[in-house]
């Protein structure tokens, strides 16, 4: 308030009136500014928020004394954005896929900087990996500028820009981020120096952890040992242990000989293909029944409408029956849309495809940095179970089929978490996991 008033009671009253008018005017100004900004966003113009890395602004029109700008790609920064997504999925060629923190460290060490010239942090990298503007989708009016609370979806204003990142890669990153979150999977499981961290478990159900021992000549040996025995003693578990190098080589050799051979892959995947074929037949039958139901409901609705048009009498019962038929048709349409959505193919795999997949994956699990090899193992295996005299390798046949379909270069993209206490079943009741049993030295 800029008006001058006295300090007596009358002045206080005038001051309050002026304050109310000023507040009302401020709200009106805010309402009009918001309306103009929304219309600006609907027309595809940029409203002035901080520009994301990879973009810059360009003036395309001038209205009065105001420039109208749009977002365009900055070629130099766009390459950095693509590099960040590539680092998350594939690494830098010398390591496996990188996490958010590792990417930030790598960028800072290689001299890259943020839009404002600062160092990259975890939040900055995570924001880039989740920003849908990089696939051409922008959203204005997403949250309140004062409270930062999310606004209802129907108030969002969507726009488009030229994409920087391939949509398939972006969606893969969105699926991978939750599975790699430290709240879900410990970072050591994905990037630690131990090959079977998160996979090796004792037959008692506890995870296997690292234990070291020193031989008579001072040589240090590393073992996988039952964590339950280490924490609770022999009453919890007898304490199964196996040398780390021995179990690592057993797992790699067993996968190479007993799974990644073309004939063995064909045998394992045949069950998945047969199950999907049976599922497809059931879905087709369900679709035919729903289409017949929809035809009958539409016929009944047509007769009700004809009755209303011929009699000119519409009572509450007829109205309710018409509403019932329309609701029935809407439900059937929704179910048909769900069933007719694209489903995984039922095609088989040629011998050449299986041989190429097995050869390349076998090379990748046997050679290279530990995080790189671990990524492939975690894509193929659910768990490595150590028992007395036996080692069991367990994997999911559906995940294996998806990996073969996507190709060896994308095996790590199918990384997932399938809790072993929730063994899933196919439609015919057969377990959808493959298993390899190995004899181990005492």
In a domain, 286, yes or no: yes
Name the strand (E) or helix (H) holding 70. Answer: strand 66-73
Residues 168 and 94 in one domain: yes
In a domain, 322, yes or no: yes
- For 49, list phi and psi in degrees, rounded to 5: -75, 165
In a domain, 257, yes or no: no
Q: What is the CATH number of the domain that holds 109?
A: 3.90.1750.20
Residues 82 and 157 in one domain: yes
- Specify the number of domains making up the chain: 3
In a domain, 51, yes or no: no
Q: Which residues face 225 on adjacent strands?
A: 209, 241
Q: What are the DSSP calls for 125-184, one per residue?
A: HHHHHH-GGGGTEEEES-B-TTT-PBPPGGG-EEEE---SS-HHHHHHHHHHHHHH-TTT
Q: How confident is the prediction along the chain (442 residues), in pLDDT tens digits per residue?
A: 566 777 788 878 877 887 888 888 888 887 777 787 788 778 788 887 788 999 999 888 887 778 888 889 999 999 999 999 999 988 887 777 888 988 999 999 999 999 888 899 999 999 999 999 999 988 888 777 777 788 888 888 888 889 999 999 999 899 888 877 666 555 555 556 788 888 888 989 888 888 887 777 777 888 889 988 888 888 888 888 888 888 888 888 888 888 888 888 888 777 666 766 777 777 788 888 888 888 888 888 888 777 777 776 667 777 788 888 888 888 888 888 877 776 554 455 778 888 888 888 888 888 877 777 877 787 788 888 988 888 888 888 777 877 777 665 555 544 443 333 333 333 333 446 777 887 765 4
In a domain, 126, yes or no: yes
Structural domain of 167: 69-184
Please state, in angstroms and rounded to a whole number, the distance separating the CA atoms of residues 73 and 70: 10
Residues 117 and 164 in one domain: yes
């Amino acid at each position: 308030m800029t008006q001058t008033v006295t300090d007596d009671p009358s002045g206080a009253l005038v001051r309050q009136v002026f304050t109310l008018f000023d507040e009302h005017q401020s709200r009106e100004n805010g309402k009009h500014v918001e309306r103009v900004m929304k219309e600006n966003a609907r027309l595809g113009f940029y409203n002035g928020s901080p520009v994301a890395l990879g973009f810059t602004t360009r003036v395309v029109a001038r209205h009065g004394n105001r420039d109208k700008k749009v977002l365009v790609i900055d070629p130099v920064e766009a390459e950095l954005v693509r590099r960040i997504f590539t680092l998350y999925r594939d690494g830098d060629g010398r390591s496996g896929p990188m996490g958010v923190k590792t990417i930030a460290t790598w960028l800072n060490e290689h001299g890259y900087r943020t839009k404002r010239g600062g160092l990259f942090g975890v939040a900055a990298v995570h924001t880039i990996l989740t920003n849908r503007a990089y696939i051409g989708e922008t959203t204005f009016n997403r949250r309140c500028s004062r409270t930062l609370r999310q606004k209802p979806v129907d108030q969002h204003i969507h726009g488009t820009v030229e994409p920087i990142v391939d949509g398939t890669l972006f969606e893969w990153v969105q699926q991978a981020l939750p599975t790699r979150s430290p709240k879900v999977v410990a970072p050591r499981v994905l990037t630690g120096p131990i090959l079977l961290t998160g996979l090796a478990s004792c037959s008692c159900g506890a995870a296997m952890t690292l234990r070291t021992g020193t031989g008579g000549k001072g040589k240090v040996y590393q073992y996988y040992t039952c964590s339950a025995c280490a924490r609770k003693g022999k009453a919890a578990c007898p304490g199964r242990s196996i040398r780390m190098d021995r179990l690592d080589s057993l797992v790699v050799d067993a996968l190479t000989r007993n799974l990644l051979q073309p004939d063995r892959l064909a045998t394992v995947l045949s069950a998945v293909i047969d199950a999907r074929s049976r599922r497809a037949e059931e879905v087709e039958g369900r679709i035919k029944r729903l289409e017949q139901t929809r035809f009958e409901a539409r016929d009944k609705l047509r007769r009700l409408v004809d009755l209303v048009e011929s009699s000119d009498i519409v009572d509450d019962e007829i109205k309710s029956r018409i509403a019932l038929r329309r609701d029935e048709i809407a439900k059937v349409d929704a179910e048909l849309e769900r069933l007719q959505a694209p489903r995984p193919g039922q095609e088989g795999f040629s011998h050449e495809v299986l041989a190429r997949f097995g050869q390349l994956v076998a090379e990748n699990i046997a050679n290279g940095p530990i995080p790189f090899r671990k990524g492939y193992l975690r894509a193929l295996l659910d768990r490595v179970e150590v028992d007395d005299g036996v080692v069991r390798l367990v994997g999911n046949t559906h995940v294996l089929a998806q990996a073969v379909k996507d190709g060896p270069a994308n095996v790590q993209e199918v990384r997932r978490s399938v809790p072993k206490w929730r063994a899933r079943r196919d439609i015919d009741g057969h377990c959808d996991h493959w298993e390899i049993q190995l004899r181990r030295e005492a």
